[in-house]
């Protein structure tokens, strides 16, 4: 096995076909490893980051890799130089590409990093517990040149309908089922028939993405929070990504109507099992009607009718995920910390932050202060 660092997007463009072929043959499909995802993100964030894509070769064939970028933290983290996964918060999984069962990714990552002096921390925020990288981390020999920390403080949420849609819906809470029936009656009486429209093509995707961002900003403002889509660059990146994913036949996007009124908008990726939920928002003025819940129910019906048995809601923010999910699995944060002064400062500060987050009293106090 050999490795190469790619630091210019033009060079990544040249190998993107081989990269995607390796991903297609991998054991764990991951939309956040697609070359389109890397290229669209870089188009919007290249001004503030340095590209660092590690590519693993077996002869002339790509068999693995991981897309990273390098960015210097501020003084709060001791100006540490941190390698993170391309895509930032938009990458719901931050896992390497395993294109061959012979690839030992952790060994290759550490070997490749040993030849660089421009980094202090490698941080991967969302690795599935079943991913091979976690197994390699747990079997890593003592005395390695870098400090490693694995933290499990969040989960992946999913809806498993493999036993049947009716059987799954029987498992959701009686209160939720009652609420859904009541809201549907109110919607029919006040707004009109409920319908779910699938959208496609650059014009429709662009139009309804703008509706989505408006809904998101209003909903977050109404809850005293700030939407990520207040950041115009982030919104433009995701809009372009949705259009590219749709062009490649990988997007499933829906609009929920009540009569002629848009209640909610959803964007997701098509998967072998069904649907990977990416972005969902609703008209905050209609919050009484629970549009997000109605959208979820309609989407599950559509997914199942098309032969899908799984809806992946990914991790982090719960919103209403725990009311629907019947399948939770751990997500792991990985820190690989170089033994430098900046690396040590980052490790100490990050450790203190994690300790505070695990203290429910401190979490409640922080939320009150933020609202204030």
Render pLDDT for 113-160 as a digit per residue (tens, 0 to 9): 999 999 999 999 999 999 999 999 999 988 778 999 999 989 999 999
| 45 and 169 belong to one structural domain | no
Sign of CA dihedral 123, 42, 6, 81: negative
- Counting the structural domains of the chain, the total is 2
% of the chain beyond a pLDDT of 90: 79
Assess whether 280 and 348 both reside in one domain. no
Q: In the block, which residue shows the tokens 């649907």?
A: 275
Q: Which two tokens stand for residue 292?
A: 């997000």
Is 319 part of a structural domain of the chain?
no
Say if residue 371's pLDDT is above 60.
Answer: no
Predicted TM-score (pTM) of the model is 0.91
pLDDT, position 366: 47
Evaluate whether residue 325 is within a structural domain: no
Question: Do both 205 and 182 map to the same domain?
Answer: yes
Q: In this predicted model, which residue has the larger pLDDT, 358 or 79?
A: 79
Most confident of 158-167, 270-279, 309-318: 158-167
List pLDDT tens digits, range 62-89.
999 999 999 998 887 888 999 999 999 9
pLDDT confidence tier of residue 323, bands split at 50, 70 and 90: very high
For residue 316, being part of any structural domain is answered with no
User: What's the pLDDT tens digit per position in 6-24?
Assistant: 999 999 999 999 999 999 9
* Model pLDDT, residue 54: 98
Q: What is the CATH number of the domain that holds 350?
A: 3.40.630
**CA pair distance 289, 46, nearest whole angstrom:** 42
Backbone torsions φ then ψ of 256, nearest 5 degrees: -95, 125
Residue 62 in any domain: the answer is yes
Same domain (yes/no): 82, 174: no
Is residue 280 within 8 Å of residue 266, measured between CB atoms?
yes
Q: Are residues 168 and 283 in the same domain?
A: yes
- In which band, very low, low, confident or very high, does the pLDDT at 361 lie, cut at 50, 70 and 90? low
Summarize the confidence of residues 342-352 as an average pLDDT.
84
Q: Which residues contact 300 (CB under 8 A, 6 or more apart)?
A: 159, 161, 165, 168, 169, 311
CA distance 130 to 190: 47
Q: Containing domain of residue 138, as a range?
A: 2-154+330-371
User: Is there a single domain that holds both residue 47 and residue 169?
Assistant: no
Shared domain check, 107 and 22: yes
67 plus 91 within the same structural domain: yes
Which CATH number do you get for residue 297?
Answer: 3.40.630.30
Tokens of 91: 């990458």
Q: Is the pLDDT of residue 302 over 90?
A: yes
Residues 183 and 239 in one domain: yes
Residue bearing tokens 């429209």: 197
**91 & 225 share domain:** no
The stretches of the chain forming alpha helices (DSSP H) are 9-24, 35-45, 105-114, 132-138, 165-169, 174-190, 202-222, 232-247, 291-305, 321-324, 341-357, 360-371
Cβ contacts of 101 within 8 Å, gap of 6 or more:
27
Do 190 and 107 share a structural domain? no
On average, the pLDDT of the chain sits at 92
Note the pLDDT of residue 29: 77
- The predicted model gives 106-114 an average pLDDT of 95
Query: Rounded to an integer, what distance in angstroms lies between the CA atom of residue 151 and that of residue 354?
Result: 9
């Amino acid at each position: 096995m050999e490795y190469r660092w790619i630091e210019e997007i033009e060079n990544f463009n040249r190998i993107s076909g081989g990269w995607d072929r390796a991903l297609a043959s991998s054991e764990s499909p991951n939309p956040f490893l697609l070359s389109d995802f890397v290229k669209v993100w870089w188009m919007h964030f290249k001004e503030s980051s340095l590209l660092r894509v590690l590519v693993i070769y077996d002869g002339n064939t790509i068999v693995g890799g991981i897309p990273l970028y390098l960015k210097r933290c501020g003084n709060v983290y001791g100006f540490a130089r941190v390698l993170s996964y391309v895509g930032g918060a938009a990458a719901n999984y931050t896992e390497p590409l395993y294109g061959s069962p012979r690839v030992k990714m952790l060994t290759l990552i550490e070997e490749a990093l040993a030849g660089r002096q421009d980094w202090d921390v490698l941080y991967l925020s969302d690795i599935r517990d079943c991913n091979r990288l976690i197994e390699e981390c747990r079997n890593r020999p003592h005395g390695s040149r870098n400090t490693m920390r694995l933290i499990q403080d969040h989960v992946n949420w999913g809806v498993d309908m493999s036993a049947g849609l009716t059987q799954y819906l029987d498992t959701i809470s009686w209160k939720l089922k009652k609420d859904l029936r009541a809201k549907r009656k109110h919607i029919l009486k006040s707004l009109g028939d409920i319908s779910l429209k699938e959208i496609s093509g650059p014009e429709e995707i662009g139009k309804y993405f703008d509706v989505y961002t408006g809904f998101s900003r209003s909903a977050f403002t109404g809850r005293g929070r700030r939407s990520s889509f207040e950041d115009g660059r982030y919104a433009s990146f995701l809009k372009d990504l949705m259009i590219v994913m749709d062009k490649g036949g990988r997007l499933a996007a829906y609009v929920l109507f009540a009569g002629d009124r848009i209640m909610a908008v959803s964007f997701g990726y098509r998967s072998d099992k069904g649907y990977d939920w990416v972005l969902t928002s609703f008209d905050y003025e209609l919050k009484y009607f629970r549009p997000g819940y109605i959208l979820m129910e309609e989407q599950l019906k559509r997914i199942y009718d098309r032969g899908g048995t799984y809806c992946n809601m990914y991790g982090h923010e719960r919103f209403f995920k725990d009311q629907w999910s019947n399948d939770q699995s751990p997500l792991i944060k990985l820190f690989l910390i170089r033994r430098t002064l900046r690396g040590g400062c980052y490790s100490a500060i990050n450790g203190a932050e994690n300790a505070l987050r695990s203290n429910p009293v401190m979490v409640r106090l922080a939320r009150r202060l933020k609202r204030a």
